[in-house]
Amino acid sequence: MPNILIVDDEQAIRRFLDTALSAQGYTVQEAASGAAALEIATTRPPDLIILDLGLPDIPGVEVTRRLRVWTQLPIIILSIQETEEQKIAALDAGADDYLSKPFSMGELLARIRAALRRANPATAHLIFKVGELSVDRARRRVTLANQEIALTPTEYELLCVLVCQPGKVLTHRQLLIQVWGEAYANELHLLRVNISNLRQKIEPNPTRPFYILTEPGVGYRLRTE
């Protein structure tokens, strides 16, 4: 079973995460500071890190940055009172996902599974399927309940960027750069309009989206299960 490193300065949170994750069959390591986390990550590398942003010694964003220098192991951020800017900073620094405290255990487990799946290329398929939606990147075909959906090239590109990293929160900036390019990193209205159009086409109820989920103030995420 995968090994998970929990980094949080609050003992209560470490203890309950340890219990819950162990019960799911994961093996768990704990670190109470950024320095300890960096050391464990090099000496006994885990398969995934759950990282608190508000660490007493090294800020979570900085820990992420230092880890990303040499490893791509999945990082899920936990934040308690952090602003959207800090979440965005952590995601742009290379974190895979984030959850705001208090979070539900079911949600955390789902995010862990998605992150581990993404980290393992063996399970990546050319055809992505969730619910009624299916994206076949080899044939550039998008279907909803077996009905082919006609998308504009931009909408398709946007959907593909989301499909490439299913379940991962992609910040507005990341999406804009990956779909439109570096020069459009701040043209948020492009993203809003295209997400809206994409939802009109693939969502059964565009005002209550099922597939493309909004992360308020941060970005978007594709549902995986």
Partner 1 sequence: MGPVGDSPRPDRDLAPGWHAYGLGLGLVVLASLLGLALQHWHISANQVLTYLVAVVVAAVYLGRGPALLVSCLSVVAFDFFVIPPPITFAIPGPENLPTLIELLIVSLVISSLTTRLKTQIAQQQRQALATQALYAMSRDLAAAEDLPAIIQAIVANIGQTFEREAVILLPASTPEGDFKAYPTENIAWLDAQEKATAIWVREHQEPAGRGTDSYPQAQAHYLPLRTAQTNIGVLGVRPVTPGPYLTPEQRQFLATFASVASLAIERVRLAETARRAQVLEATEKLQTALLNAISHDLRTPLVTITGALTGLEQNTMPLDDLSRQQMIRTAREESQRLNWLVGNLLDMTRLEAGTLHIKRTPCDIADVIGTALEQMGSRLNERPLTLTVPATLPLVQMDFVLIAHVLINLLDNALKYSPAGSPLEISAQLHGTTVEIAVTDHGPGLSQEDLERVFDKFYRASPTAWTTGIGLGLSISKGIVEAHGGQIWAQNHPTGGLCIHLTLPLTAPPHTFKKQPCPTF
Size of the site for partner 1 (CB under 8 A): 27
**Nearest CA to 212 among 105, 133, 99, 96?**
133
Distance CA 64, CA 4 (A): 15
- Closer residue to partner 1 in complex, CB, 36/144: 144
Q: Determine the residue type at 215.
A: E
- 200 is an interface residue for partner 1 by CB under 8 A: yes
Q: Does 43 bind partner 1 (CB under 8 A)?
A: no
- In the DSSP assignment, the letter for residue 123 is G
145 belongs to the binding site for partner 1 (CB under 8 A): no
Calculate ∠ Cα 49-56-9, nearest 5°. Answer: 50
Note whether 111 binds partner 1 by CB under 8 A: no
CB 201, min distance to partner 1, A: 11
Q: Contact between 190 and partner 1 (CB under 8 A)?
A: yes
Q: Tell me the closest approach of the beta carbon of residue 86 to partner 1, in angstroms.
A: 13
C-alpha to C-alpha distance for 72 and 180, rounded to whole angstroms: 25
Query: Contact with partner 1 (CB under 8 A): which of 20, 92, 209, 223?
Result: 209
Q: Which of 56, 120, 217, 225 binds partner 1 (CB under 8 A)?
A: 217
Cα(184)–Cα(176) distance, integer angstroms: 6
